[in-house]
Amino acid sequence: MDSGTLWASLLWGGIGGGYLVYGWRQKESIPLGGGVVMTLACFLPALPMTLVSLATMAAVWWLKKQGY
C-alpha cells in the first residue's frame, strides 16, 4: 500500500462517512446510499476509488437537485 492510496482512502472515506451520518440522521436515503458506496469504495485502489467517489457525489447532487 502506498501513500497515495492511504491519502485517497482518508479523503474519500471521510467525505463518505459524512454523507453516511447525514443520511442516517436526516432519514434521507440518497445521501445514505452514497455514503455507503463511498465508504465501500475505500477498499479499491486509489484511481478507481477516486472515480467511484466522484461519480457517487455527482449522482447524489443530481438526484437531490431532481427532488428525490
pLDDT tens for 10-68 read: 888 899 899 999 999 999 999 999 999 988 888 888 888 889 999 999 999 999 999 88
pLDDT of residue 68: 84
pLDDT of residue 33: 92
Q: Looking at this protein, which amino acid is placed at residue 68? A: Y
pLDDT of residue 62: 96
pLDDT of residue 26: 95
Domain boundaries of the chain, sorted by first residue: 3-66
Is pLDDT of 1 > 80? no
Please state the pTM of the whole predicted model. Answer: 0.79
- Return the C-alpha cell found at 61: 447532487
